[in-house]
């Protein structure tokens, strides 16, 4: 899984996840979706943590 580093990558990953939504279980597309969702979740967690630290 590639780590999302910035807003542009986040937007692209989110769009790709939308495109893959509903992928069949045990398919390469579902595996890609799961990896994207994990990366998106990690990016969002880090972003919120950064916001809290700066408030």
pLDDT tens for 2-55 read 899 999 999 999 999 999 999 999 999 999 999 999 999 999 999 989 889 988
Q: Answer yes or no: is 29 within a domain.
A: yes
Element (H, E) at 16: helix 7-20
Residue 20 lies in domain: 7-53
List all residues 6 or more positions away from 32 whose beta carbon is below 8 Å from its beta carbon: 16, 20, 23
Q: Answer yes or no: is 22 within a domain.
A: yes
40, 13 contact by CB (below 8 A): yes
Cα gap 22→27, rounded to integer Å? 11
Which tokens in the block code for residue 25? 């279980």
Q: Answer yes or no: is 37 within a domain.
A: yes
What's the pTM?
0.88
- Total domain count for the chain? 1
Q: Answer yes or no: is 1 within a domain.
A: no
Q: Answer yes or no: is 30 within a domain.
A: yes
């Amino acid at each position: 899984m590639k780590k999302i580093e910035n807003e542009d990558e986040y937007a692209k990953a989110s769009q790709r996840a939308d495109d893959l939504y509903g992928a069949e279980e045990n398919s390469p597309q579902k595996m890609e979706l799961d990896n994207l969702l994990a990366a998106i979740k990690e990016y969002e967690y880090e972003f919120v943590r950064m916001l809290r630290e700066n408030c």
